[in-house]
Structure 1
Amino acid sequence: MSGNDPFARLPEAATFTVTSETVEDGKPFAAAQYSGLFGVPGGQDRSPQLTWSGAPEGTKSYAVTVFDPDAPTQSGFWHWAVANIPASTTSLPEGAGDDAGSGLPAGAIQYRNDAGGARFIGAAPPAGHGTHRYFVIVHALAVEDLQVDPGASPAVLNFMIKDHILGRATLVATGEIPAS
């Protein structure tokens, strides 16, 4: 849709690898990753399965975020934000980001998405708005605990991430709902 780059004003970081059984880089999300809560037919609001490897030396924790820079707002749309994932964790199962965070490791904190819930909220681009990009990012961090209040927004979390980032692993899924 647009050329806006969510990394344009962030510090450079090493890259590492993230893969998924449910999301293919550059391809559309599956129905499960769309939002039933926002009324998308077949949407299940299931966070994607993620596996990562090759994080930079010195990684002490991870954060995972899902962001749509193409949402028709001035600030994009945060679909998921999780921090304080232990460095020993290298994968999350599909659906880890449910209301209870049932698939997250002990100590991980889910932050509220832009719909107001501390969980994964699936894709729901407005019908006829075109293709949206969903940046699924695993951030390798130099601290075990970002010390961000659990009630903070994903924007605050990401502000804190920038000061501790060692590396980023990125998948970009797409999503589109045709005009009726």
Structure 2
Amino acid sequence: MSVRPPLPYEFLPQVPSFPLTSEDITEGGTLAKEFVYSGGNLSPQLAWSGLPEGTRSIAVTCYDPDAPTGSGWWHWLALNLPAGTAALARGAGSSDAGLPGEASFHARNDFPGHKYDGAAPPPGAPHRYAFAVHALDVDALDVTADTPAAQVGFHITFHTLARAVITAEFGV
């Protein structure tokens, strides 16, 4: 029997949460084919509210802790979204053009691509995909589009005021 690794947010400094919903995914649910790499490869719709006072920007990420790498797998890093953003439409992760605000961009994921790349687990047990919205205390993270995903995660962690997560699964 294999033990699943923890989600990274379980061992990082605890922060408050806020409401996060989606028309496309549910907590503990299964990702539909349109949100996986070999399907439509679309990012799911996400909506949030109740960000804490002091939020200056938002980051949206998708992370697979079950990837057989020892360090997980980053599928999506949308950064520097304006603090007033309350949702991303389905497919917003396809390019920087789908993101709100002039300073918003996609950092390189682990495929590597500069966009959302959906679930693509090897055959076997389903993998978990943690879709997280991070309320940040800076207008812009000090990273570039080519900063490695783990380093982007480091910057997000140290600027997070609050975080909300929906985790869904997919397996082949």
TM-score using structure 2 length = 0.94
User: 2: CA distance between counterparts of 1:33 and 1:51?
Assistant: 16
Kept in 2: contact 1:67–1:78 (CA 8 A) = yes
Alpha-carbon distance in structure 2 between the residues aligned to 1:82 and 1:66: 9
Per-residue displacement from partner, 1:3-32 (whole Å, max 9, x unpaired)?
A: 423124311111111111111111001111
**8 Å contact 1:132–1:174 — kept in the other structure?**
yes
Query: What secondary structure does 1:85 align onto?
Result: strand
Question: Which residues of structure 2 form unaligned runs of 5+?
Answer: none
Q: Do the aligned residues in 2 keep the contact of 1:82 with 1:109 (CA within 8 Å)?
A: yes
1:83 aligns with 2:79: yes
Alignment gaps of 5+ in structure 1: 37-42
CA RMSD of aligned residues (A): 1.2
How many Å separate the matches in 2 of 1:5 and 1:28? 17
Rounded to whole Å, the distance in 2 between the matches of 1:130 and 1:55 is 35
Name the structure 2 match of 1:24. 26
The match for 1:45 is 41
Q: Distance in 2 between matches of 1:141 and 1:90?
A: 14
- The number of equivalent residue pairs is 169
What does residue 137 of structure 1 align with? 132
The residue number in structure 2 matching 1:110 is 106
**Deviation of residue 109 (structure 1)?**
1.3
Superposed counterparts of 1:1-180, under 5 Å: 2-36=4-38, 43-98=39-94, 100-106=95-101, 107-127=103-123, 129-177=124-172
- Specify the SS of the correspondent of 1:163: helix
Q: State TM-score, norm by structure 1.
A: 0.90
1:144 aligns to what SS in structure 2?
Answer: coil
Determine the C-alpha separation between the residues in 1 that align with 2:61 and 2:122: 21
CA distance, structure 2, for counterparts of residue 141 and residue 176 of structure 1: 32
Distance 2:117 2:151 in 1: 18
Once residues 10 and 18 of structure 2 are traced to their aligned partners in structure 1, the CA distance between those partners, rounded to angstroms, is 18
- C-alpha displacement of 1:120: 0.6
CA distance in structure 1 between the partners assigned to 2:54 and 2:16 by the alignment:
12
CA distance in 1 between counterparts of 2:158 and 2:136 reads 9
